[in-house]
């Protein structure tokens, strides 16, 4: 997320001059004190459509961020939800027989001084809980006798990938990424910024690129709110390379599947609307929508992901 800060500075210097701008501006900084707590109603929705068959799944929970410590160069926070850790993966409870699905876990994480997300600090505790639950899942799959040895190897590799630090921070606790996304920025009313954003590759190697645009729709001094929209389109070539590398590393060597990945094209776009209280430095509302489409021989497979975050005042 730090890439956006540098992009905003560069674009402001080289492209803002000479363009008529509203005089209003807002700086989004964490004006927090130790012990401050911010609670949010969070809803995650997943919808899939393949050959006319639609499937949907959703999760609704409350997440609370508590400021633990303000240091010179970083901020330590606690994040708790009333949603069990394993449920964040959306794998379905039936797969986790004999696992403690009700167990919640406190995530301790840090941001830099400007409020940008850095990392999960108590990673060992989080990873240990994931390992225990995923071991139960793997044993249940082995006992079922419905999967070949080759498929079990692939499945085990996928689970290892899913409990990696990068995957968990970026995808499982995606609400934290969204809440801290705009922290540390200063924006002017009606300002538009276009830039290339880079996201860390969960498999390592080159980052995944996106063409992104941010627009400040309004600044409301009476409520200390700034309203911002962001549009983003992932680079098709980067997505295709990622899918091919993922297939190889996960031992998904089925010839038909490999050919499918090779011939398919991927279209992934994001739309995010933010309403942020810049006096405090915390979002009041976020609506994130991702549309994914796989195209092969004129046929489409669609997936829509949506995250709604509303601060409880």
Q: Which position has the higher pLDDT, 77 or 293? A: 77
Calculate mean pLDDT across residues 271-295.
Answer: 97
Residue 20's pLDDT band, with cuts at 50, 70 and 90, is: very low
Rounded average pLDDT over 68-75: 97
- pLDDT average, residue stretch 75-104: 69
Q: Which residue has the higher pLDDT, 257 or 265?
A: 265
Question: Looking at residue 58, what is its pLDDT?
Answer: 85
Find the mean pLDDT for residues 28-40: 98
Rounded to the nearest integer, the mean pLDDT of the chain is 84
Would you say residue 89 has pLDDT above 70? no
The strand pairing partners of 36, in sequence order, are none
**pLDDT surpassing 70 at residue 2:** no
Q: Which residues of 142-171 are buried (b: 16+ CB within 10 A; e: fewer)?
A: eeeeeeeeeeeebbbeebeebbbeeebbbe
Q: pLDDT band at 97, cuts 50/70/90?
A: low
Question: Number of structural domains, the chain?
Answer: 1
pLDDT-wise least confident of 8-12, 49-53, 249-253, 268-272:
8-12
- Which of residues 211 and 251 earns the better pLDDT score? 211
Q: What is the pLDDT of residue 62?
A: 94
**How confident is the model over 25-30, as a mean pLDDT?**
97
Query: What average pLDDT does the segment 210-238 reach?
Result: 97
Beta bridge partners of 193: 214
Q: What is the pTM of this model?
A: 0.85
CATH number of the domain to which 108 belongs: 2.30.230
Looking at mean pLDDT, say which of 87-96, 138-147, 150-159, 303-312 comes out highest.
303-312
Tokens standing for residue 159: 């689970």
218 lies in which domain range? 2-312
Q: Which helix (H) or strand (E) holds 11?
A: helix 2-15
What pLDDT does residue 98 have? 53
The pLDDT assigned to 72 comes to 92
**Percent share of the chain, pLDDT over 70:** 81
CA distance 85 to 202: 20
Is residue 258 very low, low, confident or very high in pLDDT (cuts 50, 70, 90)?
Answer: low
DSSP code at position 83: S
pLDDT (tens digit per residue) in 169-204: 988 899 999 999 999 999 999 999 999 999 888 888
pLDDT at 8: 44
CA distance linking residue 277 with residue 219, whole number of Å: 10
Backbone φ and ψ for 8, nearest 5 degrees, come out as -65, -40
């Amino acid at each position: 997320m730090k890439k956006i800060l540098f992009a905003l500075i560069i674009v402001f210097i080289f492209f803002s001059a000479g363009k008529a701008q509203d005089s209003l501006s807002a700086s989004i900084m964490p004006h927090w004190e130790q012990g401050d707590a911010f609670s949010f109603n969070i809803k995650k929705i997943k919808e899939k459509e393949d050959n006319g068959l639609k499937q949907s799944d959703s999760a609704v929970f409350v997440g609370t961020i508590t400021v633990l410590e303000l240091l010179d160069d970083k901020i330590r926070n606690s994040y708790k939800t009333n949603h069990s850790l394993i449920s964040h993966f959306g794998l379905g409870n039936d797969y986790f027989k004999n696992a403690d699905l009700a167990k919640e876990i406190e995530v301790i994480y840090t941001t830099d001084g400007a409020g940008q997300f850095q990392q999960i600090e108590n990673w060992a505790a989080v990873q240990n809980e994931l390992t225990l639950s995923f071991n139960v899942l793997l044993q249940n799959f082995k006992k079922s006798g419905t999967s070949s040895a080759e498929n079990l190897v692939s499945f085990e590799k996928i689970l290892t990938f899913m409990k990696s630090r990068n995957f968990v921070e970026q995808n499982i606790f995606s609400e934290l990424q969204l809440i801290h996304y705009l922290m540390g920025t200063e924006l002017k009313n009606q300002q538009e910024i276009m830039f290339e954003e880079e996201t860390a590759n969960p498999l390592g190697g080159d980052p995944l690129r996106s063409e992104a645009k941010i627009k400040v729709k309004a600044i409301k001094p009476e409520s200390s709110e700034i309203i911002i929209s962001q549009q983003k389109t992932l680079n098709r070539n980067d997505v295709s390379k990622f899918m091919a590398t993922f297939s190889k590393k996960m031992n998904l060597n089925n010839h038909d599947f490999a050919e499918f990945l090779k011939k398919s094209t991927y279209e992934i776009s994001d739309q995010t609307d933010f309403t942020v209280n810049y006096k405090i430095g915390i979002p009041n509302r976020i609506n994130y929508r991702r549309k994914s489409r796989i195209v092969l021989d004129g046929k489409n497979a669609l997936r829509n992901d949506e995250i709604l975050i509303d601060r409880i005042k």
